[in-house]
Homo-oligomer: A and B are copies of this chain.
Amino acid sequence: MEFSFYFPIWNQLDDAQKKLLQQSAVFRQVRKGTVIHNGSENCTGLLLLGSGQLRAYILSDEGREITIYRLLAHDICLFSASCMMNSIQFEISVEAEKDTAFWIIPADIYKKLMLESAAVSNYTNEVMATRFSDVMWLMEQVLWKSFDKRLAEFLLEESNLEGSLVLKTTHEAIGNHLGNPREVVTRMLRYFQSEGMVRLARGTIEITDKGKLESLV
Contact = CB atoms under 8 A, between A and B. Distances in A.
Contacts of A116: 118
Given A87-B133, A143-B66, A122 B126 contact: no
A117 interface: yes
Interface in A93-126: 114-118, 121-122, 124-126
Contact of A85 (B114, B118, B125): B125
A46 interface: no
Contact of A129 (B64, B87, B126, B179): B87
A177 B207 CA distance: 39
Interface in A125-141: 125-133, 135-140
Contacts of A137: 89-90
Nearest to A86: B126
A125 B126 contact: no
A60 B133 contact: no
Main secondary structure of the interface of A (DSSP, over half): helix
B139 A142 contact: yes
A62 interface: yes
Chain A interface size, under 10 / 10 to 19 / 20 to 34 / 35 or more? 35 or more
B118 A60 contact: no
B129 A88 contact: yes
B85 A143 contact: no
A190 to B, nearest CB: 24
B61 A144 contact: yes
A36 B88 CA distance: 27
Nearest to A130: B87
A137 to B, nearest CB: 7
18 contacts: A58-B139, A60-B143, A61-B144, A85-B125, A85-B129, A87-B129, A87-B130, A88-B133, A89-B136, A90-B133, A90-B136, A116-B118, A121-B122, A131-B132, A135-B136, A135-B139, A139-B139, A139-B142
